[in-house]
Amino acid sequence: MGWSKTVLRSLCLVATLACVALTTLPAHAQRGKGAQKEDPAAQAAAAEKKKKAREVDDAYKAALKGIPDKPKADPWGNMR
């Protein structure tokens, strides 16, 4: 009961294709959310979150501008 060459080659081909398919699955899983489209509610929430972060950042920068600069230190100023 021997296997013919064509049957062995086809089994080898099927095994090779299965191995290639199984090795590409982890790479496909690593694509993340960029591959899928988000629903409009999630997009709106993300836009609102970005807007809020921008407002907080602008308020922080404005608060930093309100702080006066420190005068340069002159360690020998009292000795002159």
Tell me the pLDDT tens digit for each residue of 22-33. Answer: 887 776 666 665
pLDDT at 38: 67
What's the whole-number mean pLDDT along residues 48-67? Answer: 94
Number of folded domains in the chain?
1
HSE of 61, CA atoms in CB hemisphere, 13 A:
6
* 49 within a domain of the structure (yes/no): yes
* 74 within a domain of the structure (yes/no): no
pLDDT at 35: 47
Residue 50 backbone phi and psi in degrees, to 5: -65, -40
Burial class for 70, CB neighbours closer than 10 Å (0-12, 13-18, 19+) = exposed
Structural domain of residue 48, as residue ranges?
39-66
pLDDT at 16: 93
Task: Tell me how far apart the terminal alpha carbons of the chain are, to the nearest angstrom.
Answer: 109
Top pLDDT among 72 and 80 is at: 72
* 33 within a domain of the structure (yes/no): no
Query: Which phi-psi region, left, alpha or beta, contains residue 32 (left: φ > 0; alpha: ψ -120 to 50)?
Result: left
pTM of the model: 0.41
What's the whole-number mean pLDDT along residues 62-70? Answer: 88
* 17 within a domain of the structure (yes/no): no
